[in-house]
Amino acid sequence: MNINYKNLGLVCTKEMFKKAIKEKFAIPAYNFSNMEQLQAIIQGCIETDSPVILQISSSAYKYVNPILLRHMITGITQMTNKKIPIALHLDHGNSFELCKSCIDNGFSSVMIDGSAYSYKENIYLTKKVVKYAHLKNVVVEAELGVLAGIEDTTKAEKNLYTQPEKVEDFISKTGVDSLAISIGTSHGAYKFKIKPNKKIPSLRFNILKEIKKQLPNFPIVLHGASSILPKYVNIINQNGGNIESATGVSESQLRKAIQNGICKINIDSDLRLVMTAIIRKTLTENPKEFDPRKYLGLAREELIKIIKYKNKKVLSSAGFGHTIF
Ligand code: G3H
Ligand code: 13P
Ligand code: ZN
């Protein structure tokens, strides 16, 4: 089957990025892999009038099932009835075939992550995806530089950060629509290994500024942008979990990144932590409970709160939903 995203009621991210760059806010790109997360993301974004990018990783695509996912998205766009613009994005696509499958299944954008390959191979793969995607008016995100944790040591540091002198060449050779860069964030709940009494290192704003100098109006994306909120890490640890020394990107660093031109922010771990924290707490406090609606329902309520908070206080996307269509 070959479905176009417009038939699912989705929008292209182009207009979202244009607005975000002009008004200096970031489009929230929230990952999800189940119904409660999806409902919470949409509810939180409707209540704050925020545009939203729904993100599915390659493993989440398999976990949910492509056909069921398409119907869930159709249900969501019918229910929301154009209150806010919604895009559906493949996060970290690792092959042409996967990107093609998502494009044909109604995604409005895909990421082809060729960052593990050589520069030349990354260009080759990205270009191939762009060629197919653009035939269907689907847009493509690519990545230059590799996201890694501080544990990868200073030796690897130089090669892992995005090299600003390469971005223009990469974009002109691939025709890609947005670019994920590496300026010190990493995926997951353990972003920085901090020595006692030492502060979390700053993101490399000098690299971001240099990139923006080369590409002033081009959409630049920040991955690994969860803040790993201590409140939820503590709830998990107090209720039988074991998530030690977790650290994230501070909200002030995220705001600074947005002020310096980041227009899409990827968040996954924070939503996972919130959900896990509430489920653990609810089950610990109510050992007799075995109705999933009770603990998943409470988790969904908390997710809505956190999404509203992020849209309003961190990404500043609140209030812009109705202005983009
Ligand atoms: O960037 C990666 C996301 O956090 C997805 O992770 O493959 O476990 O769904 P996942
Ligand atoms: P976090 O692990 O910081 O939430 O990053 C998510 C991400 O970048 C998804 O692409
Ligand atoms: Zn990512």
Tell me whether residue 6 is in a domain.
no
Tell me whether residue 259 is in a domain.
yes
Please report the pLDDT score of residue 153 as a whole number.
38
Please report the pLDDT score of residue 154 as a whole number.
38
CA gap 18, 117 in Å, rounded: 30
Tell me whether residue 78 is in a domain.
yes
Residue nearest to atom 5 of ligand 1 (CA): 57
Please report the pLDDT score of residue 325 as a whole number.
85
pTM of the model: 0.96
- CA-nearest of 140, 133, 42 to 83 is 42
152 is an active site residue: no
DSSP class of 91? E
Residue 7, judged by CB atoms within 10 A of its CB (0-12, 13-18, 19+), counts as exposed
Q: What percent of the chain has pLDDT over 90?
A: 91
Q: What's the rounded mean pLDDT across residues 222-240?
A: 97
- The DSSP bridge pattern shows strands 109-112 and 139-144 to be parallel
- Is pLDDT above 90 for 200? no
Contact (Cβ atoms closer than 8 angstroms) between residue 142 and residue 179: yes
User: pLDDT tens digit string along 159-188?
Assistant: 489 999 999 999 999 999 999 999 999 999
C-alpha R_g of the chain: 19
Please report the pLDDT score of residue 175 as a whole number.
98
User: Where in the sequence is the domain holding 192, given as residue range(s)?
Assistant: 11-323
143 is in an annotated binding site: yes
Question: Cβ neighbours of residue 301 under 8 Å, at least 6 residues apart?
Answer: 40
The least confident of 108-112, 115-119, 144-148, 196-200 is 196-200
- Confidence grade of residue 231 (pLDDT, cut at 50, 70, 90): very high
Query: Is residue 235 within 6 Å of ligand 1 at its C-beta?
Result: no
Tell me whether residue 2 is in a domain.
no
Q: What percent of the chain has pLDDT over 70?
A: 96
Measured in Å, residue 269 CA sits from the centre of ligand 2 at 6
- Confidence grade of residue 155 (pLDDT, cut at 50, 70, 90): very low
Q: Which atom of ligand 2 is nearest to the CA of 31?
A: 9
Tell me whether residue 156 is in a domain.
yes
Q: What's the rounded mean pLDDT across residues 287-297?
A: 98
Query: Is residue 212 within 6 Å of ligand 1 at its C-beta?
Result: no
CA gap 53, 30 in Å, rounded: 6
Contact (Cβ atoms closer than 8 angstroms) between residue 200 and residue 246: no
CA gap 39, 54 in Å, rounded: 11
Q: Which atom of ligand 2 is nearest to the CA of 111?
A: 10
Tell me whether residue 123 is in a domain.
yes
Number of domains in the chain: 1
Contact (Cβ atoms closer than 8 angstroms) between residue 227 and residue 249: yes
CA gap 257, 267 in Å, rounded: 14
- Confidence grade of residue 151 (pLDDT, cut at 50, 70, 90): very low
CA gap 238, 243 in Å, rounded: 10
CA gap 129, 115 in Å, rounded: 14
**CATH value at residue 318:** 3.20.20.70
Tell me whether residue 4 is in a domain.
no
User: pLDDT tens digit string along 60-117?
Assistant: 999 999 999 999 999 999 999 999 999 999 999 999 999 999 999 999 999 999 999 9
- Confidence grade of residue 156 (pLDDT, cut at 50, 70, 90): very low
Query: Is residue 269 within 6 Å of ligand 2 at its C-beta?
Result: yes
Tell me whether residue 1 is in a domain.
no
* 119-135 helix and 164-174 helix, angle to the nearest 10 degrees: 40
